Chain A
């Protein structure tokens, strides 16, 4: 029985604390994060496919005292696989890269992704140099991941196997400038 994506997101950001910054990927993980509860420390993506992990890296380097979680989908991660190598080489201790893997491109009609054909993202991350790369297959595994995210010692990669069913869309703010400004303001920066 695969995990529900909404329940998985909720478990990861529940009691997030002041210091957790979250970057979801475009599409379903952005809807999942919005469904878990809006927060100015979420930087929702409505585009930039393949860029979530690298946005996370720039943010993690700029805010070394915060924890940064990129929580994206398998299709979005597949478009930017080079980022696995770039992040592994840089070794940011405060960055977790979490992929919700359902093996399909949910936003475009459920076409199978490469992971449906045997490509293992956690294996790729490990080969790229993530010393800490795990597969999460069930509820105890998810609870363990949430715990590791709370006491993050990264870089951490986790591939969370989720069910392929689509949840109702929960659409957050889509004005990119407004999202940027409120995120910076939440960090005490000039918007």
Chain B
């Protein structure tokens, strides 16, 4: 079922949560797991969608957005977390809110072993960056965790990572 409440509508739930949190800028590096959410953001005239060349640009974008009074979210794959590390110092030094929504690779039924090294250290690395981490393992968890993550980020000026398990996203199909 793809209807409301079905197992595959979590991108729609995320979009709704971001809208409820008044997110106006969405930075992203294109990612298959986030494809539907990216499409929703691109189609929304009230959201500035910003395609990034690398995820660390998004951390700086979010800082600038907050300076100007807007809320930003960053969509990325787990490999992108590694690209953010030094720029997250900006968020820590100034207490900028950073809401990262991360699709996992390198865990459940991963076909590509090159995804495993970064995927396996996403949570410990984010913890070292003083990020709060919330992980959604099933679609039913997405709404509540997204709402909480946005609250923690924007009301408390925190770095917050909402992690979407690879099992929730579904495995990438490699053979046609």
Contacts and interface: CB of A to CB of B under 8 A. Distances in A.
Contact of A46 (B57, B64, B93): B93
Given A48-B60, A51-B90, A58 B72 contact: yes
Interface stretch (B4-12, B34-42, B47-55, B105-113): B47-55
B68 interface: yes
Residue of A48, A89, A180, A189 with most partner-chain B CB within 10 A: A48
Contact of B95 (A43, A52, A180): A180
B57 A83 contact: yes
B76 interface: no
B44 interface: no
B67 A184 contact: yes
A144 B57 CA distance: 30
Interface residues on chain B, size class? 20 to 34
Contact of B68 (A50, A51, A59, A177): A59
A43 B96 CA distance: 13
B69 interface: yes
A55 B67 contact: yes
A51 B94 contact: no
Interface of A: 21, 23, 43, 45-63, 66, 80, 82-83, 85-86, 89-90, 176-177, 179-180, 183-184, 187, 189
Contacts of A82: 52-54, 57
A62 B60 contact: no
Q: Is the interface of A mostly helix, strand, loop or mixed?
A: helix
A43 to B, nearest CB: 6
Contact of B61 (A23, A47, A50, A55): A55
Nearest to A80: B57
Nearest to A58: B64
Given A51-B87, A55-B64, A86-B57, A62 B52 contact: no
Nearest to B59: A51
Contacts of A85: 53
A50 B83 CA distance: 12
Given A61-B65, A86-B51, 18 more contacts: A43-B67, A47-B93, A48-B87, A50-B87, A51-B63, A51-B87, A51-B90, A56-B64, A57-B50, A58-B60, A60-B68, A61-B48, A62-B25, A62-B64, A62-B66, A177-B95, A179-B94, A180-B96
Given A62-B25, A86-B51, A50 B56 contact: yes
A183 B68 CA distance: 9
A58 B25 contact: yes
A23 B59 CA distance: 15
Nearest to A188: B69
Contacts of A45: 90
